[in-house]
Amino acid sequence: MAEKVEIFEVGPRDGLQNEARLIPAAEKIALVDALSRVGFRRIEVTSFVSPKWVPQMADAGAVMAGITRKPGISYAALAPNLMGFDAAVAAGADEVAIFGAASEAFSQANINASIAESLARFAPVVAAAQAIGMPVRGYVSCAIACPYAGDIAPEAVARVAAALLAMGCYEISLGDTIGAGRPQTVARMLAAVAAVVPVDRLAGHFHDTGGTALANIDAALDHGLRVFDAAVGGLGGCPYAPGAPGNVATEVVARHLAVRGYETGLDLDALDRAVAMAGGMRDGNA
The predicted-structure confidence for 8-50, as pLDDT tens digits, reads as follows 999 999 889 878 889 999 999 999 999 999 999 999 999 999 8
Q: Where are the beta strands (DSSP E) in the chain?
A: 6-9, 42-47, 74-78, 95-101, 136-141, 145-146, 150-151, 171-176, 202-206, 227-230
244 pLDDT more than 60: no
Predicted confidence band at 117 (pLDDT cuts at 50, 70, 90)? Answer: very high
Helix (H) or strand (E) holding 256, with range, is helix 250-259
In 3D space, the residue among 201, 204, 224 whose CA is nearest the CA of residue 212 turns out to be 204
The predicted-structure confidence for 217-240, as pLDDT tens digits, reads as follows 999 999 999 999 999 999 875 554
Kindly report the CATH class assigned to 6-283: alpha beta
Residues paired with 173 in a beta bridge: 139, 203
**Domain boundaries along the sequence of the chain:** 6-283
Question: What's the CA gap between 81 and 123, in Å, rounded?
Answer: 9
Q: What residues are labeled active site? A: 238
Query: Residue 91: its pLDDT value, please?
Result: 98
Q: What share of the chain is helix, strand, coil (3-state, %, to 5)?
A: 45, 20, 35
Question: What's the CA gap between 129 and 176, in Å, rounded?
Answer: 27
The predicted-structure confidence for 45-100, as pLDDT tens digits, reads as follows 999 998 888 899 999 999 999 999 999 999 999 999 999 999 999 999 999 999 99
Q: Looking at 128-132, 157-161, 244-248, which range is the least confident one?
A: 244-248
Question: What's the CA gap between 146 and 267, in Å, rounded?
Answer: 35
Query: Residue 242: its pLDDT value, please?
Result: 52
In 3D space, the residue among 78, 203, 198 whose CA is nearest the CA of residue 129 turns out to be 78
